[in-house]
Structures are given as structure tokens and as C-alpha cells.
Amino acid sequence: MDQLEQLKQMTTVVADTGDIDAIRTFQPVDATTNPSLLLKASQDEKYAPLLEKARQYAASQGGSQEEQLANMCDYLAVLIGREITQIVPGRVSTEVDARLSFNTRGTVEKAKRLLDLYQQQGVDASRVLIKIASTWEGIEAARELEKAGINCNLTLLFGFSQAQACADAGVFLISPFVGRILDWHKAREPQADFALDNDPGVQSVSRIYRYYKNHDYDTIVMGASFRNIGEIQSLAGCDRLTISPALLKELSETNAPLDRRLSPESRSDDAQEQLDEQSFRWAMNGDAMATEKLAEGIRNFAADQVKLEKLLAG
């Protein structure tokens, strides 16, 4: 078996793309999207009919130009998500506007809006994960949504305190980033050896996974944002891994044996701790990497959201 087939035997493989053809090729269980992936997909001619449907829908709803743009983006995300659910057997993650990252109430309302649009398209709520940035406000929104039976995927997760707070909130799934953590450390220590188990992103996800298993949290750990297949190989056995089409292809072309690196029996050195808002913010303040990468990720997703709106408006 190639390494993609081997990986699928121990980890649920998720496609990190909005490209329908790539999802069909690699046959993942789930798929994730974000504003950057939707922007890329929207620039592909094959998605032109979906863009036109989104424009027509927004026009039918009326409202200000700002309201119509928001409706276009929401509807387009749902249309692409619906197409994905017709290919994958599992779930699709659809992201809340990053500009709501510090607005708990706005995030809850947008999540319910997206889910309502999915249901209008005949997609059951059980097939959708609402993707939210792992700010304190986002985690609190997820806590409320989970209680209402709306499952969430907490993204832009870089720090251990974010993972602790998400588990305490009963979040369905988290997406701790690997490659972006590596980027931050390489920029500061360009000569350091970050290969294999020395990769700080791999170390971060492994620590979170062990903490969750050791303390019996049900929250799913889905490693994300990979720079190379070595990071994926080092996390084989993680609950889920969301992987770009390029790296899925590389795994499918690699035939060496793939060893399991993480298992539910993994032990953690971290004592269980519940964080209130003050302790969460203090822990984040002490983690320069997590603070900087979270802020950068929100800015970048918000910028791509604005670009997507301009594309749709045009």
C-alpha cells in the first residue's frame, strides 16, 4: 500500500481544499474550507455557475450592498460545501467570517445562518462543522453552539491554552496548526534543526493529543497546515489530519512503510487544568508564537474574505 492508504488505516484523512476534483481524486472522509480556499476556487472558471447562483440569491434577498455581499459569500460557501458533501461520506467544515473572531454573539448568529442555508440546500446539520477562530470569544461561541447541537471546528489553534479551553468548552473538533508554528520558529532560528520530531508544530499537536487522551476529552484532534509529508508521517495515528491535495498526491506516490506515532494509549505529562477568561488571556499573552500566529491568521483570512467579496461584487 502507498502511504496515503496506510495513513487511512489509522487516521481519518480530510482534504484541505475547496477543489471538488481534488476531493474526488483522493477520496477523503471529510473536507475543510476557509476564505482563502474559497477565494482560490472562485477564480476557477468551473465554479462560475456557483458564483452566478450566489449573486442571484443575494439579489433576491435585497438589502444594502454590504448585506448582499455577505449573503453572496455565505451562499457560495454553502453551495461549494453542498457539492463536497455529495462526494465525501463525512462532514464539510465551513468557516465563519474572520471579522467576527472577537464577537461571540455575531459568531453564533452567523453559524446558525450558515446551517440554515445548508438545510435549505437539503444538507443535514450532521454533515456540517462550523469553523471558528480559537479566540476566547470564538471558544465561548462554540460552547453555546455545541450545547444547541451545532458541532464546531475550532481553527487557527497554535497554543496549548487554546486547546485546553476548547476541550473544556466541549468543542467537537480542533484544528491545531503545524506548518505555521514551524514557520514562526524557522524565522527566528533559521539554522536550527527542525526535522521530524524536532518540528515544533509536530510537538505541539502531539502534546495536545496526549493531553486529550490522558484526561478523557472527547474533542477530536485534527492536525492541519502541513509544510511537508514528514510532518504528516510524524503524526500518523492522530484522530484526523487535514491535508492539501499536493501533499495527498505525494503520500499516494510514496510506498515506504508508515509507522503509527500516536495512539489513544499515549500518556501526557500535563496536569488537567480548566481556564477561565483571565487565565486563558494570561497564558496566551505568555505565548508569543500563539498570539502572533492567531492574530496573523485572522488578518489573512479577513483579507481574503474582502477579496472574495470584491470578486463577487464584480
What confidence score (pLDDT) does residue 266 get?
Answer: 85
Q: Which grid cell is 277?
A: 477568561
Q: Which grid cell is 40?
A: 482560490
What confidence score (pLDDT) does residue 185 get?
Answer: 98
Rounded to whole angstroms, what are the CA distances from 121 to 8, 38, 77, 93, 228? 30, 18, 12, 16, 36
Q: Which grid cell is 162?
A: 487554546
Of 139, 168, 137, 136, nearest in space to 153 by CA: 139
Cβ neighbours of 252 (radius 10 Å): 15
The pTM (predicted TM-score) of the whole model is: 0.95
DSSP letters along 207-232, please?
Answer: HHHHHHHHTT--PEEEEB--SSHHHH
103, with CB counted inside 10 A (0-12, 13-18, 19+), is middle
Contact 34, 95 (CB under 8 A): yes
Put residue 108 in one of left, alpha, beta given phi > 0 → left and psi -120 to 50 → alpha: alpha
Q: What is d(CA 32, CA 243) in angstroms, rounded to the nearest whole number?
A: 9
Residues 6 or more apart whose Cβ sits within 8 Å of residue 1: 255
What is the chain's length?
Answer: 314
Q: Could you list the pLDDT tens digit for every one of the 314 residues in the chain?
A: 999 999 999 999 999 998 889 999 999 999 998 888 888 888 888 889 999 999 999 999 999 988 999 999 999 999 999 999 999 999 999 999 999 999 999 999 999 999 999 999 999 999 999 999 999 999 999 999 999 999 999 999 999 999 999 999 999 999 999 999 999 999 999 999 999 899 999 999 999 999 999 999 999 999 999 999 999 999 999 999 999 999 999 999 999 999 999 999 989 999 999 999 999 999 999 999 999 999 999 999 999 999 999 888 87
Q: Which one-letter DSSP state was computed for residue 242?
A: E
> Could you list the active site residues?
131
Contact 200, 182 (CB under 8 A): yes
What confidence score (pLDDT) does residue 35 get?
Answer: 87
Contact 100, 106 (CB under 8 A): yes
HSE toward the beta carbon, residue 234, CA cutoff 13 A: 23
Residue ranges of domains in the chain, CATH in brackets: 3-313 (3.20.20.70)
